[in-house]
Structure 1
Amino acid sequence: MTAHVKPLIAAAEIESAIGHHLGEGAAAITPVSGGNLSSVFSFELQGKEYIIKFSELEHAYETEAYVSELLRKHGIPFPRCVGQGKSGIRAYSILERIPGHNLVDCTATEQADQLPELIGMLTAMNRIELGETGGYGWIKPDGMGTYPTWKAYVEAFFSEEQTGFWEGWLEIPALEKDVAAECYERLLAYAAFNEPHRHFVHGDVSPWNILSDGRRITGIIDGNFAYGDFLVDLATLKLMSGELDVVQAYREHNERLGIYIPDFNERMIGACYFKGLDGLRFFAKMGWDDAYRNMRKFLFSLAN
C-alpha cells in the first residue's frame, strides 16, 4: 500500500469549476501549501479572494455547506461556502478566503498568547445548539448524524471492511497489528464514558486548520465534522499542539464559565485513543515513521 497522493488538477478544470458557480474571470490561481488529502488553490474574482479544494475521496466536502452555515450562524469564523460540485471523479468546494495564515506558522510565543482566544472559540463551537438533529458520527448534508450511537460510529470508523481511503487499512505494512488491536480494545473500554455526550465536533482541530494574523485567531477551516463528545476536539488539539498545555487552559476556561465536565479524565482518555489510533494508521499509511513512533508511545502511556 503506497502513501496517498493528492490529485493533480489542470488549470482548465479549476477554471471550469469556478466559472460554473461564480462566472468567468478568475485570476491569480495559485496552489496553497498544506492539506494532506486535498489539492487547494487560492484565486481572486471581482475583488474578492477565494479558496477551491479538490479531492478524490468519497463524500469529500458534502457536509461543508451545512457546517459553514451552522457555524457562521453561531459566530464561529468559518469560511462561507459559495459552491460545491463534482469534476469527473473529483469533488470540489469553493469558499470565501479568510485572511491569515496557519497558526502552526506563528512563533511559540504568538501561539501561547492566542491560546485563551482559541480555547474560547473551541468551547463556543462545541456547545452550539444542534436543534432537531439526531444521531452520532459523521454529519450528513441534512444535518443528521450517520449512526444511532457513539459506539456504532467508533466500530464503523475502525471497521476492517471499508472502502475508499481506509480500504484494507489493517494491511498497511508499517502498521503493527498487535499495537492497533490493543489500542482499539482500550478505546472500546473508554468509549462508554464518551457515549452519553452529543455535541458538534469539528474533528480535526489542529494548528494547521486554525488561521491567525499573528495576534488574533481569524478563523477555523476544514474538518471531519461529526456529532459526539466535544473532548474529541480537545484531544486533537492536545495531540497537535506541542508544548502548549491546552487541556489545563480548557479546564480553567470552563471553570470560569461555571461549566462542570463530568468524567473528564476518562472521557479524555477515550477521546485520545479515538484520535490517536486514527493518527497511528494515518502516519503508517503516509510513511511518517517518526510521527508513528511518537504516537505509539503516547497511546501506550495512556491509562498507565
Structure 2
Amino acid sequence: MTEYEKPIVDITLVEEMISEHLGDGAVEITPLQGGNLSRVFSFNHEGQGYVIKFSDLEGAYQSEIFVSDLLSSQGIPFPRCIGHGKTGNLDYSILEKIEGRNLADFSAEEQRRRLPELIRILTHLNHIDLGGARGYGWIGAGGDGAFPTWKDYWESVYAEDQTGSFWENWYALFHTSCLEKEVFDEIYSRLTAYSHFNEPYRYFIHGDFHQWNILSDGSRITGILDCNCAYGDFLVDLAILDRHMDGHNVVQAYQDHQAQAGIVIPDFNERLKGAYYFKGLDGLRFYAKMGWTDAYEYTRNFLLGLDKS
C-alpha cells in the first residue's frame, strides 16, 4: 500500500470557500505544513487570522464545530470554528487562528520547560463538563459518543471492515507494508487483557495530544489543535504525550501534578498500559501505511517490551 496522499487543493477553490463564509478580501493565503490527513492554509481577513482545512475523507469535520464550542467555552485554548461545509468531494472547515508555533519546532529544553503548563492544560481538558452527552468513542456532530461501551469502541477501531474510511482495506498492510501480523496479534491480545481497566472511565479525550498539535509563543502554551476526539479513559492522552516526549519523564510529572491537585487515579499503571496498547497499536498501523519505518520500529519495540509477562 502506498503512502497516503492528502488531497490537492487549488488556491482558487480556497479563495471561493473563504469568500462564501467571510466575503472577499482574504490576503496572505499560505499553505501550511502538518496535518497528516488535511490540506491546510492560513490567511488573514480584515485583520483577523484564520485557518482553512480540506479533507477528502467523508465527514472529516462533522464533530469539529461541537468540539470547538465545547472546549473554547470552558477555557481550553482551542480554535473556534466559524464555518464548515462540503465542496465537490472535499469537506472543509474554517477556524480562528491561534498565534504561536508548533511546540515540536522548539528545542528539547524549551519543550521541557513547557511541560508543567502542558500537564495543567491536559488535566483541565480531560475533566471538562460533558453536559448531557452520552456514549464512548468518536464524538458525533450532536456530541454523543458513537458506542455504548469502551470495549465496543476499541474493537471497532481494529475491525477488519472499515469500508469508506481512512482504514478501508487496512488488512492489506500485513502484505504490502512493514506491519507484522504476529506482532499486531500479540499487542492486540495484551490490549484485550488490559482494556477492562479502562472501561469504567468516561472523560473527554483529545486523542492526538502531542507537540505537533500544541502551539507556543516561546513563553507559554497558546493553543491546542486538531484532535481525534473521543469519550473514554483520559490516560489515553497521557500515553500519547509520553510517547511523543520520550525522555522528559512525562508520566512522573503528570503523577506529581495529580497528587498536588488532589486527583486520585485508581489502577493507574494498568490503565496506562491499556492506553499504551490502544494507541500504540493504532500507531503501528498508521506508521506502516505512511511508510514511516523508523517510527514503526520505535513503537513496536516499546510495546513489545512493555509487558513481558
Is the TM-score greater than 0.5?
Answer: yes
For residues 182 and 162 of structure 1, the distance between their equivalents in structure 2, rounded to whole angstroms, comes to: 21
Any residues of structure 2 matched to 1:283-298 within 5 Å, and which? Answer: 283-298=287-302
**Partner of residue 263, structure 1:** 267
Q: Which residue type is aligned with residue 258 of structure 2?
A: N
In the alignment of these two chains, the number of paired residues is 304
For residues 20 and 14 of structure 2, the distance between their equivalents in structure 1, rounded to whole angstroms, comes to: 10
* Alignment partner of 1:169 is 2:170: yes
**When the two structures are superposed, what TM-score results if normalisation uses the length of structure 1?**
0.99
Which stretch of structure 1 is more off in the superposition, 169-178 or 64-73? 169-178
For residues 278 and 59 of structure 2, the distance between their equivalents in structure 1, rounded to whole angstroms, comes to: 21
Q: Percent identity?
A: 58
**Aligned-partner SS, 2:303:** helix
**Partner of residue 105, structure 1:** 105
**Aligned-partner SS, 1:133:** coil
**Contact 1:103–1:207 (CA under 8 A) maintained in structure 2:** yes
**Partner of residue 229, structure 2:** 225
**Aligned-partner SS, 1:116:** helix
**When the two structures are superposed, what TM-score results if normalisation uses the length of structure 2?**
0.97
**Partner of residue 235, structure 1:** 239
Shift of residue 242 of structure 1? 2.6
Q: CA-to-partner distance for each residue in 1:189-236, whole Å, 9 max, x for gaps?
A: 111000000000010001000000111000000000100000000001
Residue 211 of structure 2: which of 174, 199, 207 is its match?
A: 207
**Contact 1:78–1:221 (CA under 8 A) maintained in structure 2:** yes
Shift of residue 58 of structure 1? 2.0
**Partner of residue 96, structure 2:** 96
Q: CA-to-partner distance for each residue in 1:34-66, whole Å, 9 max, x for gaps?
A: 111111000010111100000111221111111
For residues 208 and 187 of structure 1, the distance between their equivalents in structure 2, rounded to whole angstroms, comes to: 26
* Alignment partner of 1:252 is 2:253: no
For residues 106 and 6 of structure 2, the distance between their equivalents in structure 1, rounded to whole angstroms, comes to: 26
**Partner of residue 44, structure 2:** 44
**Contact 1:170–1:177 (CA under 8 A) maintained in structure 2:** no
For residues 191 and 51 of structure 1, the distance between their equivalents in structure 2, rounded to whole angstroms, comes to: 37
**Aligned-partner SS, 1:43:** strand
For residues 191 and 88 of structure 2, the distance between their equivalents in structure 1, rounded to whole angstroms, comes to: 38
**Contact 1:183–1:299 (CA under 8 A) maintained in structure 2:** yes
**Partner of residue 183, structure 2:** 179
**Aligned-partner SS, 2:134:** coil
Q: Which residue type is aligned with residue 68 of structure 2?
A: S
**Aligned-partner SS, 1:29:** strand
**Partner of residue 13, structure 1:** 13
